[in-house]
Every structure is written in structure tokens, then in C-alpha cells.
Amino acid sequence: MDAAEFRRRGKEMVDYVADYLEKIEERPVYPDLEPGYLRDLIPTEAPCEPESFEDLMQDVERVIMPGITHWHSPNFFAYFPAASSYPAMLADMLCGAIGCIGFSWAASPACTELETVMLDWLGKMLQLPECFIAGTHGHGGGVIQSTASEATLMSLLAARCKAVRRVQAVESERSESDVLSKLVAYTSDQAHSSVERAALIGAVMMRKVPTDEHFAVREEMLKKMVEEDKAAGLIPFYFCATLGTTPSCAFDHITKLGPLCNKENMWMHIDAAYAGSAFICPEFRPLLNGIEYADSFNFNPHKWLLINFDCSTMWVKKRTDIIGAFKMEPLYLKHENQESGLVTDYRHWQIPLGRRFRSLKMWFVFRLYGLKGLQAHIRKQVALAKEFESLVQADNRFEICAEVILGLVCFRLKGSNELNQNLLKRITKSREIHLVPCQLSGRFVLRFAICARTTESRHIQRAWRHITQLAFELLQEQPH
């Protein structure tokens, strides 16, 4: 395919994309097929000769679309949102064309420098303390990771490295493996599975801190565990706090947990993967109070800030902490400017070596929406969640299971777990809306998350009518 054909096909694809998103409501939100459906629909081997673009696009409708869970349908209320906007898609086209691999400053200076400045822009939108902003006299700065899982892992590895050095500085005879075997990390029992996995990868112990009746970690519980562990000869070194847990969007008490971590020389990482985007609104910013105690902070603009996956933004208070764990310099990656002290080589900040020019997406979205446009998006989605919450509260067959703070509503039918499991099964099978469950204090709970950018009040109202209709049928069938 030459440039001339790309001009033609590219414009057709732009229309296909716009058509898909404009008419997405007409498609069932969740596919109706069995595992393994796709293999029989296409050949067993790649073609030897080139095929036509027309045939390929016909197969997109025949093979791909029937197997899509439509995350951008306004009837999709599952998991958490996956951000999507036209400005981000335009930026991604440009990113693909430039196609640089930005592992070092020299590999494409604009790729590194725009990222640093965009992380500053976003950090200022969130009113992060100055120590996290690169363009200041502080020692901090930001980076784009692929996912929150990687940000958590990077923070844990940096903390591990720092802890080993600190112990060995005092007890020089202790081996690294002996120190490692004594390190202990902590996180909420509500934390995302990726936190536990980070500890597994890093080969350190991780303990789950029990949460209070609001599913939040409180200072007392962590303090008790830390003291027990220290008494047993272990070395507490890391706490991953969550702001906006995946099951119920709960917030750990970081204003109290922060000082405890600082006092105990424990790295505090804050995972605000979903909730972080809301902190650009002054009314939600208090939820981030306590950030000043954190060593690192991460959230996913690719969830709720209209920037398509992947774009997980992470800030650290001390750049040297995060790059210290990793710095290796083979000759083919050295370049003239790296000794100037001005240069960031982002490969030292992350697990992969290669990286796309993802900050273009931030730049396009920030400029084409403006801060006000982004705030309006957050506020609208929170209002929709509140609207759904009111509908649930007005129906005494149902109950709300966790405080609704942002765009997630946890609810259930009053009654058994089995009853709620059956309700969810019927919802899933109907394919009119899509949602997923969670478990809160042993109870099976339905999660209703406002996801698509185009979700409006009418979708909420229709979803609720649908849920109550299915619940009515289900309750009718129950033996009295």
C-alpha cells in the first residue's frame, strides 16, 4: 500500500470509525457467542499473496464485530471506563506516523520533553505538591507508564532497592537475599490484584491490611501490623494506598497513613487508577489530601480523562529513587547529551525499553477540551452515578452497598447472594446493558459504573427500567 492508497483508505477508515461510534447503540453491548467462535471463520494460515482492503473490511464486520464487547456503548457499565475521545484518536494517528521509539532523549527529544511537560501540566491540574513537578527546583517529575500495574511494580522495585541499601548501610555484613527475605509490603485487602502481583514479581512478602466498614484502610490497622512485624524481625518497607478501590471506589485514609509511613521509613505509593482523574475538579481534590506524604503517585488518564489506552501517569518525589533501581548504559544507548543533567532517559523509569510517543494524546486532549471541558466530563459522569443511586434508593427491594463518591454505584437486591447472582446472569444474557459484580464483606454485589463518554440520563433511566423488569420477573419466580 502506497501513500496514495493510504490517503484513500485512511479516509474510508475515518468514516468507518465515526460511523461505528455514532451508531454503537444499535449493536448488542455484549457478544452472543461461544469460546472458540473465531477460529472457524478465518483461514488457518496467512495468505501468500496480498488480499484486497475491501475483503478485509468486510471481514471486520463478519469476524471481529460480532465478538466485540462494546466498551464505548452508552449501555456499557462494566469494570471501569476505558477513556476514548476523537482528539486522542487523532493524536494516536500522528504518533503512529512519527513512529519513534522514545527510550532515550536522543532517540527523539520531543517525545521525552513533551512527556515531561505534559506530566507537569497534568500535575498542576491536580494541584500536586511542587516536589512532584519536574519544572521546579524539586527532585521529582512524572512519566507515562503503560498501566497502573506497571506503575505499582516500579514503585515497589524502587522501594525494595532503597530498603536493601538502607539496611546494608548500617549492617554491611547482611546479604541482599537475607534482607529481601525480611522485607514486608502492605496494601489494603481491597487493593487491585496487580498490587499483590507486584510483590510476587519482586519476591517480597505482602500483607493485606483489613479495612473498616467503608472498605478503607485506617492508620490503626496498618500501625498494628507494622509493629507486630517489626517485633518479629521483619522489615516493613512499602505501603500501597488505594484512592478509589476497584470493588467499591473506597478511599484509604492517607492523611493519617502518610505520616505513619514517613515515620517508619516505608515508601508510600498511591494507586488512584480510576479516581485520580476526578481530582482535576476542586470539589474532589480534597480526596487527594495527604499526597504530600507519598513517595509516588499514579492514576490512569486512560480510564477517565478521555485519553485512549495506554496512558497511565506516575509521579515520583525523587527521580533518583526510581531510576536508581535500573540504570544500565550499554554503549548503543549512550548519547552526547545525557551527562548534562538536563536530560531524562525514560527507559530508566519503566519496565520496557521501547515506548510510543504517548504524550501527544495528552497534548491533543488537554488543548482541544481545555481544563473546563475535562472537568465537565467528570462532573457529568458523577451526576449520572448520583442519578442511578437515587433510582436504587427509591426502590425498597434494593440497597446501596457503598457510599457513591464518584462514578460507581454498588447495589444489590435485598436478599441472598444467589438471588443477586441470578439477577446478574439475566442482565448479562439479555445483552441490553453490561455490568460486572464484586464481593463486599462476603456479599455478592452488582457494580454499575458510568463508562462511555456518550452516556446520558436516558441511558441510566432505561438501564434501571431494564434491571427492575428483570428483578420483577426473578422475584415473581421465587417461592414465598
**By CB under 8 A, what part of segment 199-218 binds its own copies?**
200-203
Q: Classify residue 420 as exposed, middle or buried by CB count within 10 Å of its CB (0-12, 13-18, 19+).
A: buried
Q: Does 436 bind its own copies (CB under 8 A)?
A: yes
Residue with Cβ nearer its own copies (52 or 396): 52
The minimum distance between CB 67 and its own copies, in angstroms, equals 3
Please pick, from the candidates 3, 169, 170, 232, the single residue that binds its own copies as defined by CB under 8 A.
Answer: 3
Distance CA 313, CA 429 (A): 36
The minimum distance between CB 302 and its own copies, in angstroms, equals 8
Q: Which of residues 295-324 bind its own copies (CB under 8 A)?
A: 302, 308-310
Residue with Cβ nearer its own copies (125 or 226): 125
Residue-level length of the chain: 480
Please pick, from the candidates 138, 166, 196, 318, the single residue that binds its own copies as defined by CB under 8 A.
Answer: 196
The minimum distance between CB 197 and its own copies, in angstroms, equals 6
Please pick, from the candidates 25, 61, 62, 96, the single residue that binds its own copies as defined by CB under 8 A.
Answer: 96
The minimum distance between CB 475 and its own copies, in angstroms, equals 23
Please pick, from the candidates 353, 441, 469, 472, the single residue that binds its own copies as defined by CB under 8 A.
Answer: 353
Total residues contacting its own copies (rule CB under 8 A)?
A: 151
Distance CA 287, CA 453 (A): 23
Residue with Cβ nearer its own copies (454 or 468): 454
Residue with Cβ nearer its own copies (223 or 363): 363
Distance CA 79, CA 304 (A): 12
Residue with Cβ nearer its own copies (216 or 365): 365
Residue with Cβ nearer its own copies (65 or 469): 65
CA 212 to the chain's CA centroid: 24
Q: Which of residues 125-164 bind its own copies (CB under 8 A)?
A: 125, 135, 146-150, 153, 157, 160
The minimum distance between CB 359 and its own copies, in angstroms, equals 10
Residue carrying C-alpha cell 441511558:
459
Instruction: Give the contact letters, 254-293, x = binds to its own copies (CB under 8 A), - = no.
Output: ----------------------------------------
Taking CA atoms, 384 is separated from 140, 201, 246, 249, 387, in Å, by 36, 39, 19, 16, 5
CA geometry: angle at 276 spanning 387 and 148, to 5°? 120
Stretch near its own copies under the rule CB under 8 A, chosen from 174-182, 208-216, 285-293, 377-385: 174-182
Residue with Cβ nearer its own copies (10 or 465): 10
Residue carrying C-alpha cell 487523532:
90
State the DSSP string of 141-209: EEEEES-HHHHHHHHHHHHHHHHHHHHHHH-TTS-HHHHHHHEEEEEETTS-HHHHHHHHHHT-EEEEE
Residue with Cβ nearer its own copies (253 or 355): 355
Residue with Cβ nearer its own copies (46 or 394): 46
Residue carrying C-alpha cell 517508619:
264
Residue with Cβ nearer its own copies (297 or 364): 364
The minimum distance between CB 260 and its own copies, in angstroms, equals 27
Task: Give the closest residue to 448 by CA, choosing from 83, 77, 82, 80.
Answer: 77
The minimum distance between CB 52 and its own copies, in angstroms, equals 8
Q: Which of residues 356-395 bind its own copies (CB under 8 A)?
A: 356, 360, 363-364, 366-373
Residue with Cβ nearer its own copies (263 or 354): 354
Distance CA 375, CA 277 (A): 9
Q: Classify residue 21 as exposed, middle or buried by CB count within 10 Å of its CB (0-12, 13-18, 19+).
A: middle
Q: For 376, phi and psi rounded to 5 degrees? A: -60, -40
Q: Classify residue 20 as exposed, middle or buried by CB count within 10 Å of its CB (0-12, 13-18, 19+).
A: middle
CA 451 to the chain's CA centroid: 13
Q: Which of residues 22-81 bind its own copies (CB under 8 A)?
A: 22, 31, 33-39, 42, 44-51, 53, 55-56, 60, 63-72, 79
Give the contacts of 400 (CB within 8 A, at least 6 positions apart).
389, 392, 393, 409, 410, 411
Give Rg (Cα) of the chain: 24
How crowded is the C-beta side of 452, counted as CA atoms within 13 Å?
23
Please pick, from the candidates 181, 457, 469, 478, the single residue that binds its own copies as defined by CB under 8 A.
Answer: 181
The minimum distance between CB 465 and its own copies, in angstroms, equals 24
